Structure 1
Amino acid sequence: MLDRFSSLFAKEKSPLASVKAATSWCKNLDLVDPATRGAKVHGVVTDFIAGNQAPTFESLQALMMIDEHVQEAFDAICYQYVSNPRMSKEIEQKLWKDIVGYAHDMVDGYQRFVQAESNEALQKQFAPMMPVVLARSLRYLAIQAKWYYFRFEKVPPKIWTVAHQLYRLSEIGGFDSNPFPTYPASSAEISSCADEYIQMLMLNTLANNNLSIRQLDMVDSWLEKWSKLIQISRKYQEERHHFCVNLQESQGAQKINPELMGEPYRYWGLNDLVNQVQEILGRLMTGASYASLDLGSDARGPAVAELLKHLDVFWTMSMRNSQVKRSERTKVAKAADIIYGLDRICGYVKEDNDKFTRQSREAKDQVDYDEIMDMRLYGFVSSRTKQKSSVATNPYVVNKKQNDWHTWSIDNESNGGLGAILRFSENEWIRPNLLLGLRLNSNENWQIGVLRRIARLSDDEISAGIQVLTSTPVMVGMHSEQSDRIENITVTELGFTGGLELPNVKTALYVPHQIDGKSVNTLIMHSADYGLDKIYQIRARDKRFSVSLGLVLEKGVDWIWVAVNVLRQEN
């Protein structure tokens, strides 16, 4: 049967010869499966690129008709790749090569007509179709870039060069923001050259976020709508813009700094986009169904909410750090112990705090009579006395496992940060904006940092940038008499209180910080514990305070960093 179809295709002249030939060819194309359809169209486009056939108005019409006709089949092939993460390596490689190769040749096919438009005789004929030609070309370039992200590979510079050139041509033509359906026969979705370009640039901002194939594809589908919330500008506005791109360089989105100004640069901001993400999250929290959020038929469950939170956190962080210039880095060869998760970090910081308290007590020649009694009775200090001493210092005990940290190789240092080289297979949990505890040797205290940057160096090697927030954190216990989240009561806490009138205790980290040169008190706490109108009683070592929560400095997926106002110190 397939042989009969193959011979049928072979006997016909090129379907790009005319619209009539393309129409007849497409009817036969519908008789085969999606993979064969894609291969047939790919073969026709490849032959057209390799041949010397002059581009004509009819051949452009034919190419656009065939391109639209095969979209359903091409989408099916792409979906097969995205929805099957456990396919064999051989199948994955073939699908990846087919999809990227097809998108690459479609761009080259359309480029024949874009370049031919310089011919004055053809310019008037091609001009009405150029907006759609450029938009489709940008979409195929974005598909290539996305498939490179799937493999954590760097996008070839040529893809960015062509994308910048095509967008610039749309600007010169004056239709960069003109709305139209890119594939009117298969979808009523309105797009533009600018929408396709900004969608490609915004997905690029997430390329190093260590997202899965399914997550990247889902965000890309959301950006089809969200890209319309972003406007590209030639003139930089400090209060509005957070990213830029140089149309004369072969790379994607960049942070803005004073050197990146002038004609080759285009600028855009994230305010409306982040507001949209936060609005969707707010509706989810108030009980809205996923179907009502217009996130796609496959967007269901807690994983989608977590992905939205990640986008909110990452893009909000990008807005705040868009103009931050990195400090100069110094090459080093060190190792660092790394822990993650606020509860686990609190446990290790508390251990440091207790050790400091014991050392301070010894320096002041203070006598612990319980320890003296233990020495007289047993010849050693019992674990119960040690625990009692620890609880007396800070009753809010955090359980932790011993030696549950990772070891990273530190490659460089800068003012306030570290650069690490690590194996991806041993650290698949990493994400940008992850809260970390770190120390460079076992004799040092744990420091608090945030994972800011991730870049894939090879198949199993990643570089990571860490900003150090403080080298002197203090674990604090918090409780509020207001209605709070329910906590599990540990055996240790029951032993300390006798099981009576136990407050709903939470843990957090006190972090000294400066804002505009002024010292402020701040806490890093669980996101669920935050409330602008809440008042907490804080115990840090041997001091007690009543505080109210103030300005939010930063948010993670499960943590929040806030300034606090001290209302009073208690005896």
Structure 2
Amino acid sequence: MGGLFDKQSGHPLADKRELQRIIGELPGDNAFKALDEIGIWLDSLVAGGELPAERSFEAARQLADAAAPHLRRLAHEYLHTPRLSKAEENRLWSIHSGFWSSFADVLERALISFISRKPTAEQARALLPALSTYLLGALRTLIKWEQFRYGPPPKEVWRRLGQALLAAEAVGVGMQSVATGGLLGNSSPLTEYRKAMIFQAASMDSLLPLEIELAEAFISHYLAAFDFLSTAEHDCVYWVDLRVGQPPQRLAKMPEQVTPSQRFYRPGAAHGQILGVLRQLERGAEVPPEINLGGQYPVKTLLPVLRHLCAYLAPVPPQRRHDRHHVRHQVQVLHGLVNAFVIFSREFGGQAMGLQVESWQVDNVSRGGFGVLLNEPPKDWLRVGALLAMQPAGGENWLLGCVRRFYRGVDSASRVGIQTLSRQVEAAELVPVRSGENTRGAAVPLLILLEGNLPGEVRLVMPPHTFDSRERFEHVLQGQRVFFESLLLLEHNSDYEIARYRLLQAT
């Protein structure tokens, strides 16, 4: 699109040389300042209406290419830096959300302007493959960043996605490949929409942000193995209407009316391929080299992601295992392993002892856990995986739970899904003993879960990086001396880890 900029427009980005000068003067060693300047220029393209669609798109594309390395660096910082302060986390999130929102606004404005001119088929085929691909990719990435915060998808995003894809398909370029460089890679309008559709079907609200990023990478790798159809078949799982502004819906029954804008999805061969990789990793293999995850990750980080995708992208997605009953009840809450250890320790008699206890409203209960409705902004520590000690109002017994789902609603209201880990918990400080050695390590404060275990087993909740398959613990449990022999690490995060142990009688 070289030579498109003339000197008749008053906008600085209308001149090709001026655009190159502006990009060339962006600070290369300060991602925050560079993205701030790029954001100002993108906003100016949204506000200014004098640039033709082709020129606005070209300016936005070059600005986005310049932003790409800075976005990657700050995204890595957001996802991989342990214990980010809330202020820094919000800053990094706002930078990405703001960039993708402004970039999408520029592209959508250019698309609407271009279509309103009633271009010839040749003109449309020249511009729409790239313009639609970038727009769909920007909207898809914006959905992902909202998911990092467990918030609702951006307003009308599915209407915007559908319109962008329909515009490309109208001139037969929906599947045309576009090289977008470092921003989106090689893609097409249909590819970007399909990524968004599978991402939505995967129900990411029970994953941590890094796990969401990895899940998206696995989806991208296996995208071609999913089936996307224009007509419904009996084994389709989700469907969407590109002309209707709603996310993909479970195909509980066939649509009442068949329209050309409907699309249907089924796992196809993808589910078996993802399951195959999961089984390989469980047997100790490495990630196949052809899968690009953007870095090297330990197997224990990838396993929960693959298990989640195998469950939610299956031919039959998971159904609710237990009936949910609506209630209105208060529960006292303490968060974190340290607080839980204090409250379950016999030394303190199950009393909070001056700890900062919160009061939450339980909205529904089931055998597996309960849901909580928060009518105030969530605390900084509240996220998927947070460990909770809870006591129902009026009761004396504490139970241990874990945040499994978190949905940040509008107007400060949030919903939290909590899994009950055990209603019988014992706090203890145990010394690990390594098999075949007489030396003992330092005592480890941990929680023994006495309920919900497999026969002959217990689960232990321990500080992070404690589990060692070569070690076991000795303990007096219910008056008998026993050994806890390590079996399997179930889950881990920066606050704690949970592992299965075989229960052996000491001789």
TM-score normalized by the length of structure 2:
0.63
Of 183, 205, 210, the residue aligned with 1:209 is: 205
CA offsets per residue over residues 47-99 of structure 1, 9 Å max, x none? Answer: 22212314154454344334334322333343343334544444443433332
Q: Contact 2:146 / 2:152 at 8 angstroms: preserved in 1?
A: yes
The residue number in structure 2 matching 1:464 is: 417
Matching of residues 396-407 of structure 1 within 5 Å? none
CA contact (8 A) 1:291 1:297 kept: no
Select the structure that is richer in helix. 1
Matched, 1:37 2:3: no
Who is 1:355 aligned against?
none
**Letter matched to residue 166 of structure 2:** R
Contact 1:194 1:232 in 2 (8 A): no
Tell me, in whole angstroms, the C-alpha distance in 2 between the residues paired with 1:117 and 1:136. Answer: 16
Whole-angstrom distance in 2 between the partners of 1:13 and 1:252: 40
Q: 2:240 aligns with which of 241, 245, 250?
A: 245
For 1:64, the equivalent position in structure 2 comes to 61
Q: Report the counterpart of residue 455 of structure 1 in structure 2.
A: 407
How far apart are residue 200 of structure 1 and its match?
2.3
User: Separation in 1 of the partners of 2:418 and 2:242?
Assistant: 27
1:150 to 142, 148, 151: 148
Provide the residue aligned with 1:182 in structure 2: 180
Deviation of 1:290 (Å): 4.5
Correspondence for 1:333: 328
Q: How many residue pairs get matched?
A: 420
Deviation at 1:337, TM superposition (A): 11
The one of 217, 223, 234 equivalent to 1:221 is 217
Retained in 1: the 8 A contact 2:206–2:384?
yes
Q: Secondary structure at the match of 1:157?
A: coil
**8 Å Cα contact 2:100/2:141 also seen in 1:** yes
Distance 1:15-1:78 versus aligned 2 partners, 3 A rule: farther
Q: Is the 8 A contact 1:117 1:123 kept in 2?
A: no
Q: What is the CA-CA distance between 1:166 and the residue it aligns to? A: 1.2
State the Cα deviation string for residues 323-350 of structure 1 (Å, max 9, x = none).
Answer: 9699997643357999xxxxxxxxxxxx
CA distance in 2, matches of 1:323, 1:496: 40
Q: What is the CA–CA distance in structure 1 between the aligned matches of 2:97 and 2:122, rounded to whole Å?
A: 32
Q: 1 CA distance for matches of 2:311 and 2:40?
A: 45
Change in 2 beyond 3 A, CA 1:21/1:254: same
Preserved CA contact (<8 Å) 1:55 1:112 = no
Q: Tell me the SS of whatever aligns to 1:120.
A: coil
Cα distance, 1:254 vs structure 2? 2.6
Residues 241-273 of structure 1: per-residue CA shift (max 9 Å, x gap): 222234344442332211645435422122433
Cα distance in 1 between the residues matched to 2:383 and 2:26: 45
SS of the counterpart of 1:232?
Answer: strand
Q: How does 1:78-157 map to 2 (within 5 A)?
A: 78-84=75-81, 86-115=83-112, 116-121=114-119, 124-157=122-155
Which residue of the partner structure matches residue 551 of structure 1?
A: none
What SS does the aligned partner of 1:292 have? coil
Contact 1:410–1:419, Cα closer than 8 Å, also in 2: yes
Contact kept? 2:271, 2:314, Cα under 8 Å: no
The aligned counterpart of 2:264 is 267
Separation in 2 of the partners of 1:279 and 1:71? 33
Partner of 1:193: 189
Deviations 1:501-556 (A, max 9, x none): x9x999xxxxxxxxxxxxxxxxxxx999xxxxxxxxxxxxxxxxxxxxxxxxxxxx
Q: Secondary structure at the match of 1:113?
A: helix
The letter for the 1-side match of 2:128 is M
Q: Distance in 2 between matches of 1:21 and 1:475?
A: 67
Which of 40, 46, 51 pairs up with 1:49?
46
Could you tell me whether the CA contact under 8 Å between 1:242 and 1:256 is conserved in 2?
yes
Change (3 A) 1:245 1:451: farther
Partner of 2:363: 411
Tell me if structure 1 keeps the 8 A contact 2:10–2:50.
no
Describe how 1:513-524 pairs up with structure 2 within 5 A: none
With over 3 angstroms needed to count, the CA separation of the structure-2 counterparts of 1:136 and 1:157, relative to structure 1, is: same
Q: Counterparts of 1:434-453 in structure 2 under 5 Å?
A: none
For residues 176-219 of structure 1, the C-alpha deviation after alignment (integer angstroms, 9 at most, x for no partner) is 23333222xx4894322222122223333455533222222232
Distance change in 2, residues 1:13/1:33 (3 Å): farther
The answer to whether the Cα contact below 8 Å between 1:247 and 1:265 also exists between their aligned partners in 2 is yes
Other structure's SS at 1:288 match: coil
Q: Note the C-alpha offset of 1:421.
A: 4.3
Does 2:253 correspond to 1:258? yes
- Which letter maps to 2:72? D
Alignment match, 1:565 = none
- CA distance in 1: counterparts of 2:28 and 2:22, whole angstroms: 11
> Structure 2: how far apart are the matches of 1:120 and 1:426?
50
Per the alignment, do residues 296 and 491 of structure 1 end up closer, same or farther by CA in structure 2, a change over 3 Å counting? closer
Quote the Cα distance in structure 2 between the aligned partners of 1:426 and 1:95.
15
Call closer, same or farther: CA 1:335–1:269 in 2, change over 3 Å.
farther
Asked whether the equivalents of residues 277 and 308 of structure 1 are also in contact (C-alpha less than 8 Å), the reply is no
Instruction: Call closer, same or farther: CA 1:93–1:325 in 2, change over 3 Å.
Output: closer
Q: Is the 8 A contact 1:167 1:193 kept in 2?
A: yes
8 Å Cα contact 1:232/1:266 also seen in 2:
yes
Write out aligned runs for 1:350-389 (5 A): none
Compute the RMSD of aligned alpha carbons: 5.2
Secondary structure in structure 1 of the residue aligned to 2:239: strand
Gaps of 5+ in 2: 1-8, 334-348, 352-356, 421-450, 458-468, 490-497, 501-507
Q: Taking structure 1 as reference, are residues 243 and 311 closer, same or farther at Cα in structure 2, changes over 3 Å only?
A: farther
**Is 1:316 the counterpart of 2:311 in the alignment?**
yes
Q: Which moved more, 1:20-29 or 1:161-170?
A: 20-29
Q: Distance in 2 between matches of 1:29 and 1:477?
A: 63
Matches within 5 A, 1:392-541: 410-412=362-364, 420-421=372-373, 455-457=407-409, 461-464=414-417, 477=455
> What SS is found at the alignment partner of 2:205?
coil
Q: Is the 8 A contact 1:181 1:190 kept in 2?
A: yes
Q: Distance in 2 between matches of 1:179 and 1:129?
A: 13
| Residue 163 (structure 1) aligns with | 161
Percent of aligned positions with the same letter in both sequences? 17
CA distance in 1, matches of 2:123, 2:73: 33
How far the C-alpha of 1:129 sits from its partner, in A, is 2.3
Q: Which AA in structure 1 matches 2:314?
A: M
Contact 2:225-2:269 within 8 A present in 1 as well: yes
Task: Report the CA distance between 1:43 and its aligned residue.
Answer: 2.3
Hey, what does 1:564 align to over in structure 2? none
Shift, 1:119, TM fit: 1.3
Q: Which AA in structure 2 matches 1:255?
A: R
Q: Return the match for 2:230 from 234, 239, 258.
A: 234
Paired residue secondary structure (1:22): helix
**Does the CA contact (< 8 Å) of 2:133 and 2:178 recur in 1?**
no
- Greater Rg, structure 1 or structure 2? 1
**3-state SS of paired residue (2:296):** coil
